[in-house]
């Protein structure tokens, strides 16, 4: 049985609250993880992972809330990414959630999440391009426009899509 507090505007469950708390703690501790571990943790796209976990294990509203708030929370706690870039990431993650739920009606979950991630990243890079052109974001000398190598982003996207495939197939098999 799942404990829940009923609110007409937003259904809050214990599972959602625990996942949100874990996500916020993980993002809060991200700078520490980055200093302790031998590789930059942000390469695995932890905010995206947390939002996808919310999409699979809680409900749509919770996924939207995390997509909107995790980047801003990261800026407030660690001042990384810079505020305007945090807003772009929030828009990207929110678009990914919306695209996934829209596509999920018409195609398999693994294809929907893969496409949603790619389209969200496309939106992010388009917004970032215009932000750089308009002077809203400045790149440091020798800084690449693409922060994380595209091949690493592709691997992360495939792994996340694989998780969604595994989770949805397990759920489908459990339901018969």
Domain holding 74, by residue range, is: 4-175
Report pLDDT digits (tens) over 108-156: 999 999 999 999 999 999 999 999 999 988 888 887 888 888 999 999 9
Looking at the 3D structure of the chain, how many domains does it have?
1
Q: CATH number of the domain at 62, please.
A: 1.10.1760
Q: Model pTM greater than 0.75?
A: yes
Alpha carbon of 126 to those of 3, 16, 118, 131, 140: distances in Å?
A: 42, 32, 12, 9, 19
Q: Which residue has the higher pLDDT, 37 or 105?
A: 105
Q: Report whether pLDDT(28) > 80.
A: no
pLDDT band, residue 9 (cuts 50/70/90): very low
pLDDT, residue 39, reads: 75
Residue 65, judged by CB atoms within 10 A of its CB (0-12, 13-18, 19+), counts as buried
- How many other C-beta atoms can be found within 10 angstroms of the C-beta atom of residue 46? 18
The alpha carbon of residue 38 and the mean position of all alpha carbons in its chain are separated, in whole angstroms, by 23
């Amino acid at each position: 049985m799942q404990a829940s507090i009923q609110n007409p505007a937003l259904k809050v469950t214990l599972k959602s609250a625990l996942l949100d708390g874990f996500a916020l703690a993980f993002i809060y501790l991200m700078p520490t993880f980055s200093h302790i571990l031998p590789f930059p943790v942000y390469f695995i796209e932890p905010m995206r992972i947390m939002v996808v976990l919310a999409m699979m294990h809680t409900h749509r509203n919770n996924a939207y809330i995390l997509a909107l708030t995790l980047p801003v929370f990261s800026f407030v706690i660690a001042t990384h990414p810079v505020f305007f870039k945090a807003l772009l990431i929030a828009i990207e993650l929110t678009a990914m959630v919306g695209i996934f739920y829209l596509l999920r009606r018409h195609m398999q979950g693994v294809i929907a999440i893969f496409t949603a991630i790619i389209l969200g990243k496309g939106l992010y890079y388009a917004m970032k391009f215009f932000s750089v052109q308009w002077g809203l974001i400045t790149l440091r000398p020798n800084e690449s426009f693409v922060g994380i190598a595209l091949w690493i982003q592709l691997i992360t996207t495939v792994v996340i899509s694989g998780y969604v495939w595994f989770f949805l197939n397990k759920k489908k098999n459990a339901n018969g």
